[in-house]
Chain A
Amino acid sequence: MSQGRRHRLPSRRMLFLGCVAIAVIGVCSFAVSRAVSRTATPAVTTANVKPAARPPRPALTPAEEAYMRAMWPIHGDVERSLMRASLGQILYKTDDLSRAELKARMEQALTTYRGAETRIRALEPPASVRNDHEQYLVAVRLFQESAVEAIKMFKDGRDDHLLAAYPKSQEGSDKIREVGGKFWPSEFPPN
């Protein structure tokens, strides 16, 4: 009797250990499959057959290239001043920039815009880009008018000049983005 019990007890233990072992194996298998499924490279559904190379940008003539190279630093100065003016107004509105600092920014921007107009007028655009050249000049004049309007706030103390100045600045920004996109299409790549 007692011997029989001794024989049965180990069997229960073995049964228990067997269950544990099966559970461990099951859990391990689940863990491995889960890890694999989470790290495996997903099925690529986009076909690998890609279109032929995109049509290249039309070749620039030497005159066009020279013109666009000459415009490039002017464009940079205009953009930088424009953004400093825009952000200056934003940070002024959020009390992160003083009135005096904004005044300095706006006056500096106006100086830059006036200088840019002079520099652009000194260029001789090829006929193919003359219309865009004119559009850029229109934009620079809009920036000047906008800055002049904004600067009035420092004379009469009325901040609503900023709101009045804004539409011209925005219109000019649209114009240089469109023209800039044609001249320097890689300026703002996908991001």
Chain B
Amino acid sequence: MARTLLRIAMMSVFLFVVGGLGPADVLQAKSNNERPPQVLPSGFESTDSLLRDVERAEKAPLYSAWIVESSRFLNVPFGGFQPDKAGLNTTVDLPVNVGIIEEPDGKLTLYDSGWKQLAYIFDWNTSCCWADLRHQMQMIGLNPEDVTRIVIGHGHWDHAGQLDSFPNAVLYVQKEELKQIDFFLDYPIEFNGGHIRAVNTVDPISGGQVGPPAQACARSPVCGYPPQTVAEIEGKILAGKAKIIDGRFEVAPGLVIHPAFRGHTYGSQLLQVHTPRGELVFGSDTYSSWEGIRDWNVANIQQTDTIQQFLAYEKCYVLTSNSFSFNNCLAAHERLSYSTDYPITQNWWTITNGNCSRAAELILANGEKTHVPANVTTGSTTISLPGLPAKTGLWRIDSVVCKNTISTVPPHVIPPNG
């Protein structure tokens, strides 16, 4: 009797432990009847429906994919980006990553379009390494004329810039994104001291938030959408080169937009891409930090509902559940990008004549030849910049070459992965 009880107890322990290995830390909304509260119907996708998208993708064509660094924010307080890391009391450099996806016929889809450079950003050293996206594409062996689609993860200026550089490409944007900007433009400020405001949210000289407590305009509902960026979206729509969508949308077989409303902004959206290494999920700023996805930490809280950001994280876990899990989630501002610490980006190089911006080859399909320079590990390249003598250095050593190449880029440290 005692032995039987012992056996039962041990089997119970065994089953408990095995059961505990499952994704117990993941919110599950398995069927359509289990939509979490405050999730818009068009923004909701059940686990089952996401898994069906994985199943459907298995019959779809395979895509190749790269990322390029549109620019890099320097010296950002880590805690400002990820509150859970505030205790580290350090600053980080954050890339602004743009996804490039290639179909079997060579046509290209961009996920985000980087930012449109302004002279002052260099003047005051808040960033480095900006390069024109078309130029970057050419430098890594991709033809910008082949871009037929641009899916923007959201409409902020650093992700939806340069749209007019691709006049023939069709833009995909969520209606929810546009509606929320419009709604808050005229939001009254009587009882909020200007904290919920469309424009003029900072002191014109100090840059501080209008009214206490000190807070960047980033948290206000329309911050991040300069008229210039909205105008570029408008240009696409007036030219008949835009699809305003509402929720999930299949762009092409194996290329599916998933809503992530309030994962970063009201109309944020993800892009599922079918590749030889399983489903990749590009997330723009909803997936600002890959570490955040891996460790279930929120990141880059702007017009964000943190639960919705976690639900969006979960979408990536579901879509990648039969491949490399969170390793296939593509983050826009992951500090570990272009290093082995963010494994999917480890095959990276400094773009020739790309102002020290970087590129990474994520995966190849359909016999596509690698775009990584042959001498990436041991070779050398010449980096020339306007008004300065050309300098020669190793492909992956921008910690040596790029920190001093132009006077307007401040010294900065790049992970030594060469």
Cβ–Cβ contact B157 & A39, under 8 A = no
Q: Does B179 contact A (CB under 8 A)?
A: yes
Cβ–Cβ contact B7 & A190, under 8 A = no
- Nearest neighbor of B18 in chain A, beta-carbon distance: A27
Cβ–Cβ contact B158 & A191, under 8 A = yes
Q: Does A48 contact B (CB under 8 A)?
A: yes
Give A30-64 interface residues, CB cut-off 8 Å to B: 30-31, 34, 38-39, 42-43, 45-52, 54-55, 57, 60
Cβ–Cβ contact A173 & B231, under 8 A = yes
| Interface majority SS (helix, strand, loop, mixed), chain A | helix
Cβ–Cβ contact A80 & B224, under 8 A = no
Report the separation of the CA atoms of residues A86 and B185 in the bound assembly, to the nearest whole angstrom. 12
Neighbouring A residues of B244 by C-beta, 8 Å: 90, 94
Q: Provided the pairs A170-B164, A178-B119 are in contact, do residues A86 and B336 lie with their beta carbons within 8 angstroms? A: no
Report the separation of the CA atoms of residues A187 and B382 in the bound assembly, to the nearest whole angstrom. 36
Pick the contact of B13 from A24, A89, A177, A184 — CB < 8 Å? A24
Nearest CB on A from B307, distance (A)? 20
Q: Does A152 contact B (CB under 8 A)?
A: no
Neighbouring A residues of B238 by C-beta, 8 Å: 89, 93, 162-163, 166
Q: Provided the pairs A27-B18, A87-B185 are in contact, do residues A60 and B234 lie with their beta carbons within 8 angstroms? A: no
Report the separation of the CA atoms of residues A162 and B235 in the bound assembly, to the nearest whole angstrom. 10
Q: Provided the pairs A39-B295, A45-B341, A190-B158 are in contact, do residues A87 and B74 lie with their beta carbons within 8 angstroms? A: no
Pick the contact of B75 from A38, A48, A50 — CB < 8 Å? A50
Q: Provided the pairs A51-B410, A51-B411, A69-B204 are in contact, do residues A42 and B235 lie with their beta carbons within 8 angstroms? A: no
Q: Does B28 contact A (CB under 8 A)?
A: no
Segment from B86-94, B144-152, B366-374 that makes contact with A? B86-94
Q: How many residues of B contact A (CB 8 A)?
A: 87
Cβ–Cβ contact A186 & B224, under 8 A = no
Q: Does A21 contact B (CB under 8 A)?
A: yes
Pick the contact of A27 from B17, B119, B125 — CB < 8 Å? B17
Q: Provided the pairs A45-B417, A191-B285 are in contact, do residues A20 and B14 lie with their beta carbons within 8 angstroms? A: yes
Q: Does B227 contact A (CB under 8 A)?
A: yes
Cβ–Cβ contact A83 & B178, under 8 A = no
| Interface majority SS (helix, strand, loop, mixed), chain B | mixed
Neighbouring A residues of B234 by C-beta, 8 Å: 86-87, 89-90, 166, 169
Give A90-116 interface residues, CB cut-off 8 Å to B: 90-91, 93-94, 96
Pick the contact of A50 from B91, B157, B199, B228 — CB < 8 Å? B91
Neighbouring B residues of A27 by C-beta, 8 Å: 14, 17-18, 21
Q: Does A124 contact B (CB under 8 A)?
A: no
Neighbouring B residues of A72 by C-beta, 8 Å: 200, 204
Q: Does A7 contact B (CB under 8 A)?
A: no
Q: Does B312 contact A (CB under 8 A)?
A: no
- Nearest neighbor of B125 in chain A, beta-carbon distance: A54
Cβ–Cβ contact A17 & B227, under 8 A = no
Pick the contact of B224 from A45, A50, A191 — CB < 8 Å? A191
Neighbouring A residues of B417 by C-beta, 8 Å: 45
Neighbouring A residues of B94 by C-beta, 8 Å: 190
Cβ–Cβ contact A86 & B20, under 8 A = no
- Nearest neighbor of B159 in chain A, beta-carbon distance: A191
Cβ–Cβ contact B227 & A79, under 8 A = yes
- Nearest neighbor of A32 in chain B, beta-carbon distance: B17
Cβ–Cβ contact B341 & A34, under 8 A = no
Neighbouring A residues of B13 by C-beta, 8 Å: 24
User: Using an 8 Å CB-CB cutoff, how does the interface string of A162-191 with B read, 1 for contact, 0 for none?
Assistant: 110010011001101110111111111111
Q: Does A120 contact B (CB under 8 A)?
A: no
Cβ–Cβ contact A185 & B21, under 8 A = no
Report the separation of the CA atoms of residues A87 and B229 in the bound assembly, to the nearest whole angstrom. 11
* Interface CB pairs A-B, < 8 A, 14: A24-B17, A31-B21, A34-B21, A46-B92, A52-B411, A76-B199, A90-B233, A163-B238, A166-B231, A170-B164, A182-B120, A186-B202, A187-B226, A191-B158
5 A-B pairs with the lowest CB-CB distances in the bound complex, closest first = A186-B207, A76-B200, A72-B204, A45-B415, A51-B411
User: Which residues of B does A touch, CB under 8 Å?
Assistant: 3, 6-7, 10-11, 13-14, 17-18, 20-21, 73-76, 90-94, 116, 118-121, 123-127, 156-158, 164, 175, 178-179, 181-182, 185-186, 198-200, 202, 204-207, 216-218, 222-228, 230-235, 237-239, 244, 285, 291, 294-295, 300, 302, 335-336, 339, 341, 410-417
